[in-house]
Amino acid sequence: DIQMTQSPSSLSASVGDRVTITCRASQSISTYLNWYQHKPGEAPKLLIFAASSLQSGVPSRLSGSGSGTDFTLTISSLQLEDFATYYCQQSYSSPWTFGQGTKVEIK
Amino acid sequence: QLQLQESGPGLVKPSETLSLACTVSGDSIRSSSYFWGWIRQPPGKGLEWIGSIFYSGITYYNPSLKSRVTMSVDTSRNQFSLKLNSVTAADTAVYFCARHLTAAGYNCFDPWGQGTLVTVSS
């Protein structure tokens, strides 16, 4: 199985901050990488697929980049609604695997 | 708007079978070429893909759970289901269902249900 490692596991930030979350795959996965946002009690939400393609309805302050083994999710200016846990997921080979999550908390 | 909702018992005894259903609304489960998947999250841990099913009944499962998992589709109820047998405390988790998109080889899950907590305990 492909292992996905996210860093940091949590971070504290203020509204307006630029936030970067990193995801590393245990082997090259080209751009087969998705990002999700999850808030407690809500359904997880797909944000970005194919490493950098923004899902419909997702604000443009979110962006994804990377290929191979190293990927980044960036929030250019953190808003209140962005405080959540973020997960990466590889879609290169089954079984589809997720990172352990990065919790973004209010500073 | 497509919505998914999980349902089933919140408490299952060890060694018994966990059974959950996912009701799809807003579209027919057989109207499009999508798979439908189950993902779980044990307390304090990450997400784990369990398996996915096509409306025709084609399935594929995570090898780590394959020996204990059965998924099925009921097109008349617009539902798909999960059965996990011989459960232990390690199967305690929030179980999510989701549409599994496979376009252009990119596999992602969207949308998801809100999830349902299943606790394995006597």
Asked if residue A84 lies in contact with residue B52, where contact means CB atoms within 8 angstroms, the answer is no
What pLDDT score does B32 carry?
67
Stronger pLDDT, B102 or B94, i.e. the higher one: B94
Burial class (CB in 10 A: 0-12, 13-18, 19+), B46: middle
pLDDT 10s digits, A68-82: 999 999 999 999 999
pLDDT at residue B72 greater than cutoff 70: yes
Of all residues in chain A, what percent carry a pLDDT higher than 70? 100
Q: Is B85 exposed, middle or buried (0-12, 13-18, 19+ CB in 10 A)?
A: middle
Token pair for B109: 């899950």
Q: What are phi and psi of A73, to 5 degrees?
A: -110, 125
Rg of chain A, C-alpha, whole Å? 13
For residues A98 and A4, is the Cβ–Cβ distance under 8 A?
yes
**Res A92: pLDDT:** 96
Whether the Cβ atoms of residue A23 and residue A71 lie closer than 8 Å to each other: yes
What's the half-sphere exposure (Cβ side, CA atoms, 13 Å) at B109? 32
pLDDT of residue B121: 97
CA distances from B113 to A90, B7, B23 (A): 20, 10, 9
Predicted local confidence at residue B39, as pLDDT: 98
From the CA of B93, how many Å to the nearest CA of chain A? 14
**How confident is the model at residue B92, as a pLDDT?**
98
Partners of residue B66 in chain A, C-beta under 8 Å: none
Q: Give the C-alpha separation, A16 to B93, whole Å.
A: 34
Residues of B in contact with A97 (CB under 8 A): 49
Q: What's the pLDDT at A30?
A: 96
Measure CB to CB from residue B112 to each of A43, A50, A96 and give the nearest one: A43
- pLDDT classification of B37: cutoffs 50, 70, 90: very high
> B98 CA to chain A: closest CA distance, Å?
9
| Whole-number Å distance between alpha carbons of B80 and B28 | 12
The residue-averaged pLDDT of A32-54 equals 96
Model confidence band, residue B103 (pLDDT cutoffs 50, 70, 90): confident
